[in-house]
Each structure stands twice: as C-alpha cells, then as structure tokens.
Chains A and B, each alone.
Chain A
Amino acid sequence: MTEHAVKNTWVEIGGVVLKKDERAPNLPDDTKQVPLEMRVKGFLVHDAEKGGEADIVTLSGRTVRGILTGINPEYDHMFGRPIPELSPIAGEIRAILRERRKTS
C-alpha cells in the first residue's frame, strides 16, 4: 500500500546527486562503490505518493524536486540506554574527592 501525502505536508525528498561513475576522483574504495545521495525537507507543492516524484518548497524558499522519502519524518536520534561503562564514573570520582577531604 502506498502512503499518500497531501499538498503543504512537511516531507523529505531525496535522490542521487552523483552516480558512482560521476563522483570525484581519489575517493577511498568503499566510497567509490556508492553514489552521492541527498535528502532535504520542505512543504509539498502538490499531492504525492511515497516513492514517487515530488516537488517541495524548502525553508529557504527553494523549489526542489526528488523522490518522496518521508512524510512528516521523525527525528529519531536519541540518548538510548545508559552505558554501563559510564554509569559508575560519577560515584568513583566523588569517592576520590571524599577520601581526599577526609584525610586533609
């Protein structure tokens, strides 16, 4: 089932800027194997389907065309779980200072 987005929805579009063989010379081997891709967000100029072509107006007012990759896309960076290797550090350091203050 395709996802449909209506005009004026906040979306992300993307596309290939440079294909593998169009890329800069002197790239590391792994980077050479993949294209240069782009993603940018803005408001849809017209109704569009995810995976289909779409035009957007970005926050700077540019009109950009690409493939619709996300509809009201999520900011998914986060803190995540506490890191067990970090969790004890605060207690350890406070203990060092307590010890020093006891003896001085």
Chain B
Amino acid sequence: MSTDSYKTIMDQKADIMRSSVGIDYEKYTTGPLSFDYEAMLNDTGYDLDAIRDIQDRSAVGNTPLVELRNLTELVRTVSEPGKGARLFVKDEAANPSGSFKDRRASLSAFEAKKKGYKGIAAATSGNYGAAVASQAAKAGLGCIIVQEAFDSHGTAQPEIAEKTRACEAYGAEVVRLSVGPELFYYFLIVLKETGYFNASLYTPYSILGIETLGYELAMQVKSREGRFPDVVMATHAGGGNVTGTARGLIKAGAADTLMVAASVDLAGLHMASDRDFNRKSFTTGHTGFSVPFSTWPDRADVPRNAARSLRYMDRFVTVTQGEVFYMTEALAAIEGMERGPAGNTSLAAAFAIAREMDREHIIVVQETEYTGAGKHPLGQLNLAKQMGIDVRRGDPGENRPGKAIVIPEHPSQIKPVEMNLDRIRRSYLRNALDSLPDGENVTGTDIAFLVAETKSDETYVREAIESHERKKR
C-alpha cells in the first residue's frame, strides 16, 4: 500500500480526477458562479434512446410498475371520504444487482469500456457498489469498491457488510475502511495506482443513467391509465435519484408531475462520527446526505456535480426510521413484496401524502431495493438494540435518531415532516455567493444560473444577493 501523506495525495486531486473521469469540467464555466449544466450532460454524447439501448443490452431497466391495491385500501381506511390516491411502485429490485443503482452504473461501465479503461472504481458503502461490481462483471472490467464499513471497535454496519459480500460475489475487490471522510483520500490512492475509471455517483453518466427510470414510469402509467402520474416520490440522498428521475419525467412529457423528495430524518447524528456510525440504522437516503447535498451539490467528489436536486424538487419531506420499518413490514404483509428498508423511505412518505390527495390521483414510488441478511429490518434493529437504542412501539413523533426508534402502532400515525424548501434554497444561494472568488461580481449569466439552480425567479435570487451583501457589510 502507498504511504503518501494525506496532503500529498489531496494536492493531486484535480489531476487524478481529470484522468479518471475524462471530463474537462473547466470548459463549462460561463461566469464566476455559473456553468453550462446542459452542455456538460449533452457532451457525453448519450441521448435517452442511446442510454435505453445500452441499458437494455446489460439487462438494466424495464422494471415492472406494480399497483399497490391493498396499500391504497389501507391508505383509504385513514383518509377523509374522497381522499386516498392510488399507490404504484416501480419494482427496481428487479434490476440485475437489485436496485435502481444499476442504471447509474451501466453508463459508467459502458463509457469506461469504450475509452479503454481496464477497470472501474467507486467510493460507496451502499447499493451503488454492488451495481458497479455487477456492471463491471458483465463488461469484463476490473472493479474496486471503497467502503466506509466499520467503527473503531471493528463493528460493521449490517447493511454495508451485506454490500461487501455482494460486491465480492460479483468479483470486485472491496476495500473496507473505518469511519471518516478520508475514504476519499484512499479512493484517490486507488485511482492513481490502478488508472481505473472513476464511476463517481455524481458524473453526467451516473445522472443520465437514471433518466430512463423517470421516462419508463411516466410511459408505463400513461399507457395503463391514459395520463401521467400526479406525484412521483423519490428517496433523496446525494440528489442523483431526484435529478435523474425528474429529468426523465420531463423528457417523457410529464412536466406537470410533481417531484417529491423524501429522506429519513437523522438530525443530530454526525456523519463523520465514529460513535454515531452504528447508531444510524440507515446508511443512505437520509438527511445526513440530502440536506448538505441539496444546499451545496458541489461538495461531491467531482468538480461539478451533475446531481442538482433543487432544480427539480417541488416538495421535500422527512420520515422517521420507525415509519420506514413499519411500511417495510406492511409492504411484505399485504402486498407480498419483501424489499429492503432503505428503498421504502419514499414509500412511507407516499403513504402519508396519498391521504391528502384525491382518490383518482396517482402517486408513484419510483424504487424498491432487494433485501437480505443485513439489509433488513431484523438485522438493523438487532444492531440498534445492541447499541443501546430504545426500540419501541408508539407515536413516531417521539422518534429520536441514535436514541429511540419508535415504530408506529397504527397507519394513521405515519406523518412526514415538511422540509422548508425556501430555507434550503436560501441556504444554497448563501453557499453559492460565499464561493464567489474575491474581486469577482455576480453577472447576469450567474443570476440566470442561480434561478435555474433554485427553481425560483429573478426577483427571488436578486433579493438573496442583496441580503447577502447587507450581511457582509
């Protein structure tokens, strides 16, 4: 193993990234703050048809859309008369490695192969690792997955332990690290040593690969029901799922469909804390990723993140760990679908949002994920108990991340908490304005960019700029 110091490697970050992703991000800069997002995506050369074809050849996508009739009936037992929308789920567990992440990995594997890389690598502890390993296996590429996997006592998070096993089953090397953001440092060492393609979650390839999910589900609903869904619900972490799905919906013509993001509330737990690591119960789809990535997407491992969720989100809600475990049980008990809990985050939110909507309306939960030892409520709650977390039935409002997992006693108790999108947009704008280089001024191009970034209007952005100036003075 290389013994290069932390600083030595981090100083080479830009060069290593450029050669491992093969994108010259600089050329998309259009102003001190702005860049040409659409050009960055278009220049990959893959349009929707090309991506559908590539995914079709690697057995990715075309997953079933399942109407959840019994869950819809359950929604209606706790709704006002005339309310209780029809629930559908896109069964993404039917993808080769068991999650929608295969869509993200497929295009990276294709691009890596085309450009002559010997292998692909990714820094991920979740389903994406298995997806990259699976697509690499099919493409005949080497594969290395770098995981944050265990705490300083050597205790592995059960969901991540299952990912280790799955990646190794697909023939990938898995480097497991203890807790800390220096995972990125080790990842750079691996990229430098191997010359592998960086299958980052945040490249254009990764986001374009998800557009097919939004497109497919829109077309499936349209061909079955004669119209597009009213709401699509996506679990939200780094922003790729929301971004890619919403872009696919727009490409299908479903521009009026509302895009709602849902995350598990993990407020109070520190993402880089060795102690908190095994008290999270969820490794992704939680606010520990979704809030920082919504308010500043360019914190990613590439210079310009292609996942820009604030551009597409119409609403953002959180649910509790207990609510997700409850819905995971419900999906198995009355729909006969045993699926992994993390993927059911958006299902828990959709269940509650369906109560507010008219009976004729359609809400689509856009993913499921596979389940198995470790990636299951039993493995995760057994660890929670071992860590001293209070697991009990009751009002989910009493759920406290890292301290108490409260599992609802009745479906009527499932009530997502609204995230204030205005605050998130303002926080994004503050971060953007803070990144303005000294001596530079915000240009007209920047303003148009910030409007698109926040799905707002010029008045909104100008007010935020003025308020930022006042505070600086």
Contact with A along B406-417 (1 / 0, CB 8 A): 010011000000
Interface status of B395 (Cβ within 8 A of chain A)? no
A88 CA to B302 CA in the complex, in Å?
A: 46
Given A17-B182, A38-B175, A78-B374, A89:B326 Cβ within 8 A: yes
Interface status of B332 (Cβ within 8 A of chain A)? yes
Closest chain-A Cβ to B135's Cβ sits at a distance in Å of 15
Residue of B nearest to A57 (CB): B173
Closest chain-A Cβ to B119's Cβ sits at a distance in Å of 6
Residues of B with C-beta under 8 A to A39: 149-150, 175-177
A39 CA to B272 CA in the complex, in Å?
A: 19
B142–A61 CB distance below 8 A: yes
From A1-9, A44-52, A92-100, the one touching the partner chain is: A92-100
A90 CA to B338 CA in the complex, in Å?
A: 12
Residue of B nearest to A88 (CB): B393
Residue of A nearest to B407 (CB): A85
Residues of A with C-beta under 8 A to B181: 24, 27
Contact with B along A71-104 (1 / 0, CB 8 A): 0000111111111011001101110110010000
Residues of B with C-beta under 8 A to A62: 144, 173, 193-194
A40–B165 CB distance below 8 A: no
B173–A59 CB distance below 8 A: yes
Within 8 A of A (CB), among B148-193: 149-150, 152, 156, 158, 161-162, 164-165, 168, 171-182, 185-186, 193
Given A23-B182, A93-B334, A97-B74, A40:B175 Cβ within 8 A: yes
Residues of chain B at interface, number, CB under 8 A: 64
A93–B333 CB distance below 8 A: yes
Closest chain-B Cβ to A31's Cβ sits at a distance in Å of 5
Closest chain-A Cβ to B400's Cβ sits at a distance in Å of 16
Residues of A with C-beta under 8 A to B19: none
A81–B378 CB distance below 8 A: yes
A42 CA to B144 CA in the complex, in Å?
A: 12
Contact with A along B254-277 (1 / 0, CB 8 A): 000000000000000010111100
Interface status of B337 (Cβ within 8 A of chain A)? no
A15 CA to B1 CA in the complex, in Å?
A: 10
A60–B194 CB distance below 8 A: yes
Interface status of B381 (Cβ within 8 A of chain A)? yes
A17 CA to B175 CA in the complex, in Å?
A: 12
Interface status of B392 (Cβ within 8 A of chain A)? yes
A94–B333 CB distance below 8 A: yes
Closest chain-B Cβ to A12's Cβ sits at a distance in Å of 9
Residues of A with C-beta under 8 A to B142: 60-61
Given A60-B144, A62-B193, A62-B194, A79:B176 Cβ within 8 A: no
Residues of B with C-beta under 8 A to A82: 378
Closest chain-B Cβ to A83's Cβ sits at a distance in Å of 5
Residue of A nearest to B163 (CB): A77
**A85 contacts which of B70, B143, B162, B392 (Cβ < 8 Å)?**
B392
A28–B194 CB distance below 8 A: no
Residues of chain A at interface, number, CB under 8 A: 47
Residues of A with C-beta under 8 A to B376: 79
Given A24-B185, A65-B1, A86-B407, A79:B177 Cβ within 8 A: no
Closest chain-B Cβ to A23's Cβ sits at a distance in Å of 6
Interface status of B379 (Cβ within 8 A of chain A)? yes
**B180 contacts which of A36, A60, A76, A89 (Cβ < 8 Å)?**
A36
Given A23-B182, A40-B173, A96-B74, A77:B5 Cβ within 8 A: no
Within 8 A of B (CB), among A11-42: 15, 17-18, 22-24, 27-28, 30-31, 33-42
Residue of B nearest to A14 (CB): B176
Interface status of B436 (Cβ within 8 A of chain A)? no
A78–B273 CB distance below 8 A: no
B162–A77 CB distance below 8 A: yes
A42–B173 CB distance below 8 A: yes
Residues of B with C-beta under 8 A to A76: 161
**B274 contacts which of A24, A30, A41, A93 (Cβ < 8 Å)?**
A30
Closest chain-A Cβ to B396's Cβ sits at a distance in Å of 12
B377–A83 CB distance below 8 A: yes
Interface status of B73 (Cβ within 8 A of chain A)? yes
B182–A24 CB distance below 8 A: yes
Closest chain-B Cβ to A86's Cβ sits at a distance in Å of 6
Closest chain-B Cβ to A33's Cβ sits at a distance in Å of 8
B382–A18 CB distance below 8 A: no
Residues of B with C-beta under 8 A to A75: 161, 164-165
Residues of B with C-beta under 8 A to A31: 179-180, 272-274
A36–B379 CB distance below 8 A: no
A93–B411 CB distance below 8 A: yes
Closest chain-A Cβ to B315's Cβ sits at a distance in Å of 27
A22 CA to B185 CA in the complex, in Å?
A: 12
A-B contact pairs, 19 of them (CB 8 A): A24-B6, A24-B185, A27-B180, A27-B181, A28-B270, A36-B186, A38-B178, A41-B168, A60-B142, A60-B144, A64-B1, A77-B156, A77-B158, A79-B373, A80-B382, A89-B407, A92-B410, A96-B411, A100-B73
